[in-house]
Amino acid sequence: MRHAVTRTRTATTVATMLLSILLSACAGTASRSLDSPRAPTTDISAVTAIDPGSKLSAGWQHGAFIEIFVRAWRDSDGDGIGDLRGVTQSLDYLRDLGIKGIWLLPITQSADHDHGYAVTDFRTLEPAYGTLADFDELVREAHARGIGVIMDYVINHSATSHPLFVEAASRTSPDRDWYIWKEPAPTGWEIWGKNPWHGSSGGTYYGTFGPHMPDFNLENPAVIDYHRDSLKFWLNRGLDGFRFDAVSHLIERSATDWRDQPESFALMGRVNALMGSYKHRYMVCEGTANPISWAAPDACRSAFAFGLQYHIADAARGKPEAIRAVADYFTTAPMTMATMMSNHDFFAGERLWDQVNGSTAQYRLAAASYLLLPGTPFIYYGEEIGMAGVSELKGDIKLRTPMSWTADASGSGAFTTGKPFRPVSPNAATQNVRAALADPNSILSFYKAMLHLRNTLPSIARGSYEHPAVDGSVMSYQRKFEGDHTLVVINYGTAAAMAKIAALPIGATLVAAYPATALASTADAKGAASIAIDAQSVRVFSVRR
């Protein structure tokens, strides 16, 4: 039964607080290093859905998003840590780039005080990032520029120091089943080479991502209610949606059936229905093993296209089988997939600069490949200027470094006036925003050009995907939406080519959309045309009858 739903949850005994300390001591090194002392309280009150409406037009989510790690984006107060005001101060930059949506990595209060996935309060901001007033200002100012804002939501787990887990760790707690406990400890389990069952003074609990982040029991209706109310808390403030973390792991059945269970899909379908009760909201899910399944209308509707980014990188390097894989992807994948070249997790790939070893020609090919395809593209912050990862750092951390705004001599890259919390990108001296803005041939200028196509040609943002073809190193396809018709041609090869295009309207004129200097062409009586295309280049045409 759900308890105290209209007031703050508080641990009621000294014994429970002592148990929390013992639990942290027994949950492993990660827990001891991540958890920080705080009063064991949290708001679990019921929240009534009150839709404030939307300042954004229908279909806004078909534009490009940028994924921002707030801690690393821009520091407004000189403490070396990025904050929400820093994001607000950068909105004009994002608007001019052509961004239509912002995905904020976790900004709720966390035990790790860094990546944010060890959540300690789902309705409170991480203090270093600012206040709810700062959040409201960011959303308001983003909307004024036609930009939506979504945030990461960690539905699968919390931190061990979350007050709900502290309370559940008592063997006599009426809310014991908010988390997953088993006695004796199960055997035979292994996830990514590790046992997900963790012993503590409070018993053995399940934590897919380690002892410091125990999984919620998402078969408990009270837990579902708590998450639904927490989602409504943010939606009621005008937030435009969520990226849901780790949806593959919501429900676990056994040592073999611990991923992508039918009940997990059904649960996210219910979340999807909640989102649909608010105007013009958007959700996207991280389902790593079977991403296409998670994009189903009765599940998340949109999910990240994990795997496609590797084909795109290989295509940019000129590998024939990868070019074919890119051309074929959206012949079967839903048009609602979310595309990317990298993100905050190392398993998704190095930063794009490192994937192509600094080849700007290959970089542009990769960018054009996913920014012009169907789906919703997500640009990882710094990708638009060619930021590199920090090689001396390991794993995810090397991808989560301060944004390179300038080639600042202090080493901060103008991310902060103080000391940055982490080393800056090794190529910040050349690949930074200030230098890119002054260079018409920069990577940033190319991204602006690609996003301009997406923002001005409805067929690129929302159109069908038709007649994909591969001829040698040249890929082509057509896109259509409500009378707007475009042709995209990409030459991944290192030699110029003559692209042979079929299935065009008879006698159609191909008018250059990118680059503007490209020669126009005309389809013949069979709907065919030949287009000369330089090595490692992109051509986009408006098809006019």
Residue 118 is predicted with a pLDDT of 98
Residue 273 is predicted with a pLDDT of 98
Closest Cα to residue 432, out of 446, 410, 413?
Answer: 413
Give the model's confidence band at 62: pLDDT under 50 very low, under 70 low, under 90 confident, else very high.
Answer: very high
DSSP string, 11-70: ---HHHHHHHHHHHHHS-HHHHHH-----SEEE-----------SSPTTGGGS-EEEE-H
| Digit-coded pLDDT (tens) for 325-358 | 999 999 999 999 999 999 999 999 999 999 999 9
Residue 412 is predicted with a pLDDT of 76
Above 80 in pLDDT, residue 150?
yes
Residue 40 is predicted with a pLDDT of 55
Residue 494 is predicted with a pLDDT of 98
| Digit-coded pLDDT (tens) for 461-493 | 999 999 999 999 999 999 999 999 999 999 999
Average pLDDT over residues 246-253: 96
Say how far apart CA 435 and CA 159 lie, in whole Å: 41
Cβ pair 153, 243 in contact under 8 A: yes
Average pLDDT over residues 202-225: 98
| Digit-coded pLDDT (tens) for 528-538 | 999 999 999 99
Above 90 in pLDDT, residue 72?
yes
DSSP string, 326-364: HHHHHHHS-TTPEEES--SSGGG-S-HHHHTTT-HHHHH
| Digit-coded pLDDT (tens) for 85-113 | 999 999 999 999 999 999 999 999 999 99
Say how far apart CA 121 and CA 134 lie, in whole Å: 18
Say how far apart CA 453 and CA 287 lie, in whole Å: 29
Give the model's confidence band at 455: pLDDT under 50 very low, under 70 low, under 90 confident, else very high.
Answer: very high
Q: State the alpha helices, DSSP H only, in 105-211.
A: 132-144, 163-168
Give the model's confidence band at 362: pLDDT under 50 very low, under 70 low, under 90 confident, else very high.
Answer: very high
Residue 2 is predicted with a pLDDT of 31
Above 80 in pLDDT, residue 241?
yes
Q: Which secondary structure element, helix H or strand E, spans residue 73, and what is its range?
A: helix 70-73
- Name the 3-class secondary structure at 485: strand
| Digit-coded pLDDT (tens) for 274-304 | 999 999 999 999 999 999 999 999 999 999 9
Share above pLDDT 90 across residues of the chain, in percent, rounded to a whole number = 90
Average pLDDT over residues 134-143: 98
3-state SS string over 406-460? CCCCCCCCCCCCCCCCCCCCCCCCCCCHHHHHCCCCCHHHHHHHHHHHHHHCHHH
Residue 393 is predicted with a pLDDT of 96
Say how far apart CA 354 and CA 380 lie, in whole Å: 14
Residue 409 is predicted with a pLDDT of 57
Residue 323 is predicted with a pLDDT of 98
Say how far apart CA 214 and CA 38 lie, in whole Å: 18
Give the model's confidence band at 20: pLDDT under 50 very low, under 70 low, under 90 confident, else very high.
Answer: very low
Residue 75 is predicted with a pLDDT of 97
Cβ pair 158, 168 in contact under 8 A: no
What mean pLDDT is reported for the chain?
92
**Cα separation values, 538 from 310, 366, 530, Å:** 19, 11, 15
**Cα separation values, 475 from 36, 183, 499, 511, Å:** 53, 57, 8, 19
Above 70 in pLDDT, residue 22?
no
Cβ pair 416, 481 in contact under 8 A: no
The residues with which 243 forms a beta bridge, in sequence order, are 152, 284
Alpha-carbon Rg of the chain, whole angstroms? Answer: 24
Say how far apart CA 157 and CA 482 lie, in whole Å: 43
Helix axes 360-372, 443-456, angle to 10 degrees: 20
Count of residues for the chain? 545
Share above pLDDT 70 across residues of the chain, in percent, rounded to a whole number = 92
Structure tokens at 16: 């429970």
Above 90 in pLDDT, residue 411?
no
